[in-house]
């Protein structure tokens, strides 16, 4: 009887230990993944270190998922309900943590490795007021050229200028209003141009935007350029920014008429 009781306690110890270990691993994985962006945004870690934390979190989450599955199986065989429940929860939580780096990897594989997007690849809007800020950043001030344009046309054929049926002054006013509504830091507004900086919420990346308005028959043509200061690939962020901005500008102008 005593021997049976001792064996029962021993059999229950391993599921509990595995459950606690899996829980600690997945919590640390979540901390690495979630904290990678803020650490870079708050200048506590450089970009390489932040991405290293993201990778570490992904590996730990994968390990946590394995531990959770092992805990679930062992605890079920030992008929330990609570450790089995914890093991299942650890597996689900680890899968949730893995979603973020998995989505980033998927986007990186689906879009070209470019970071400078524009509605006019032949004559992109220029960065003038933002040139000094970009000169101190890794990515160039000047548009990268035809190789980037070719990749953009293949991946984002919908990135095209729009026409606004407005006088130039009203079109510029609307363009600035939409930029400010999106939370961009508007750096300069000229007679036909606008320059602003958009900051991504997670990593705090600085992406610069140049907007050019040209008077044409029937209204104003709007060209936009959005370019990252760092990184070879933007994971589609700049194309999405231009697409959303132009859609919002068109909607605003349409509602005001």
Residues in the chain: 257
Domain shared by 10 and 105, yes or no: yes
- The CATH number that applies at residue 232 is 3.30.310.80
Average confidence (pLDDT) over 121-149: 96
Domain shared by 87 and 214, yes or no: no
Query: DSSP labels for 93-152?
Result: HHHHHHHHHHHHHHHHHHS-S--EEES-SSSPPPPSTTHHHHHTSSS-SS---HHHHHHH
pLDDT tens string 159-197: 999 999 999 999 999 999 999 999 999 999 999 999 999
CA 43 vs CA 36, 48, 58, 204: distances in Å: 11, 12, 22, 10
Alpha-carbon distance of 124 to 57, in angstroms, equals: 39
**Predicted confidence band at 12 (pLDDT cuts at 50, 70, 90)?**
low
Alpha-carbon distance of 190 to 2, in angstroms, equals: 88
Alpha-carbon distance of 59 to 7, in angstroms, equals: 35
**Predicted confidence band at 83 (pLDDT cuts at 50, 70, 90)?**
confident
Domain enclosing residue 57, as ranges: 2-110
User: Does the pTM exceed 0.75?
Assistant: yes
Q: Which of 34-43, 170-179, 204-213, 221-230 has the lowest mean pLDDT?
A: 34-43
Alpha-carbon distance of 171 to 214, in angstroms, equals: 10
Query: Which of 85, 110, 135 is the last residue before a domain boundary?
Result: 110
Average confidence (pLDDT) over 105-129: 95
The total of structural domains in the chain comes to 2
Across the chain, mean pLDDT equals 91
């Amino acid at each position: 009887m005593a021997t049976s009781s001792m064996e029962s306690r021993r059999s229950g110890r391993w599921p509990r230990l595995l459950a606690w270990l899996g829980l600690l691993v997945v919590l640390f994985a979540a901390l690495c993944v979630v904290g990678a962006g803020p650490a870079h945004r708050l200048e506590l870690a450089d970009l390489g270190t932040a991405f290293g934390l993201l990778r570490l979190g992904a590996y730990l989450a994968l390990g946590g998922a394995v531990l959770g599955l092992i805990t679930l199986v062992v605890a079920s065989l030992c008929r330990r309900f609570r450790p089995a429940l914890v093991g299942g929860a650890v597996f689900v939580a680890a899968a949730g943590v893995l979603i973020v780096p998995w989505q980033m990897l998927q986007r990186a594989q689906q879009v070209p490795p470019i970071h400078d997007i524009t509605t006019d690849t032949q004559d992109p809007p220029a960065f003038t007021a933002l040139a000094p800020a970009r000169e101190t950043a890794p990515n160039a001030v000047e548009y990268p050229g035809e190789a980037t344009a070719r990749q953009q046309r293949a991946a984002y054929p919908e990135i095209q200028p729009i026409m606004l049926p407005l006088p130039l002054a009203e079109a510029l006013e609307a363009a600035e209003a939409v930029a400010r509504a999106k939370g961009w830091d508007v750096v300069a507004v000229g007679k036909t141009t606008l320059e602003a900086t958009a900051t991504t919420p997670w990593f705090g990346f600085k992406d610069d935007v140049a907007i050019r308005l040209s008077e044409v028959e029937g209204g104003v043509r709007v060209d936009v350029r959005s370019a990252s200061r760092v990184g070879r690939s933007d994971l589609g962020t700049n194309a999405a920014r231009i697409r959303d901005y132009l859609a919002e500008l068109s909607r605003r102008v349409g509602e005001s008429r």
